[in-house]
Chains A and B, each alone.
Chain A
């Protein structure tokens, strides 16, 4: 006990504040902590750890998704046999088949949509905590114009995207699925048009926002990067015009600040990237598994089942694809903006 107290005392004596300038990244949320690397690893090692952990935790979801797909194939085979045996009641069988497929798929799809929406919310919340730290670090490194423009742009696009996903795309996804089921039951032209419109609207929203965001980043990088580079050059000129000794002192201090701010920004950015990937990777793999397995099931059912049956399963896999795009877009937005912050002033 005495040794422990002595050790703590020595630790307090030795611990002196190294720097007044400290930028610490926000901690990854609880759900993502399991994927985060424990030790101080390099970014590539950390990324590899995140991927390995995510794959190792995928087994239950894979088993569940396989079970659903096997049930779908079983229903399709059963319906094919029934249709072969009774020619007269084909309409009733078709209806029953659509209902059975919908019942099998609606529960896992609903839970995956909720998972996707939650992932988007978590990524957005994490971005709100990470961006001010990166902005401050980039500003400390001399990129005041770039950091302000990057922060304002990323925060705006993130807010718009997460609001569109919560209030438009997620409800539209449910409407889309309802329309798909309705189309499978009654092949009505109006319903098909509405279904196609819902799918087009969701894809268009995500694509357009990503294109506009990429364009904004490109323009911001050129304009504000030049402004910051000029400001840094002007400061260096002012320093070189000072008294040699004072100029040397200021120049050394400025270099130290630039290097330490750059190092801290790199560390915060790397942690932020890993945290964002950790939040995203689990749900993405889960939804991705379901998506691929449904695609495979649709292909198998296309051989043994009816056209409507295959189309309905394909539509559900399309909804999974939309979920993948939804979570992927939000994550990509956060990753790209973090990398832009890390790149800083050129």
Chain B
């Protein structure tokens, strides 16, 4: 941007200098025509020369940074949403299992683990507490059928 400012200043200064020189030289003299030609060439050079040195790759790199920032902001938003989603699914699944256990008069502690899919799905459970063998079998079947957590992924302690 500093380059653009310098370019505009250069063009305006050149225009002012050319107009002053042309006015001083006069219109009807023999030198006037030559001076007008030279000042015209000077003005054209001032207009064109900076455009030759412009490196467009610098600007491309500059704009590329915004794309990287955008990706970082999107990743942070998506990550926090995913974290929240995991937390809700985990707590709701645990509440579901505890509700079933409560209906069987069992007091348990449940910790559900989720896989890394999108959306995350319950893949394992760790159950602690005292429960009768019959109720354990019933609850284990419930978990396997309703929540798709296979019996081998259920850890009873």
Give residues in A with beta carbon < 8 Å to B: 19-23, 131-132, 135-141, 144, 147-149, 151-152, 155-156, 159, 163-164, 166-168, 171-172, 175, 188, 190-191, 194, 198, 201, 235, 238-239, 242-246, 249-250, 252-254, 256-257, 260-261
Contact = CB atoms under 8 A, between A and B. Distances in A.
Interface residues of B, number: 43
B26 to A, nearest CB: 15
Nearest to B87: A20
Contacts, number: 138
Contacts of A242: 121, 148
A287 to B, nearest CB: 23
Interface string B1-41: 11011001100100110010000000000000000000000
Given A156-B66, A243-B146, A137 B77 contact: yes
B63 A238 contact: no
Where chain A touches its partner, the secondary structure class is helix
B107 interface: no
16 contacts: A21-B80, A135-B73, A136-B74, A136-B76, A139-B75, A139-B81, A141-B81, A148-B67, A164-B1, A166-B1, A171-B9, A235-B118, A250-B119, A250-B120, A253-B89, A257-B88
Where chain B touches its partner, the secondary structure class is helix
Contacts of A257: 81, 84-85, 88
A261 B81 CA distance: 8
A243 B50 CA distance: 67
Nearest to B18: A190
Contacts of A131: 73
A21 B84 contact: yes
Given A152-B67, A155-B66, A190 B19 contact: yes
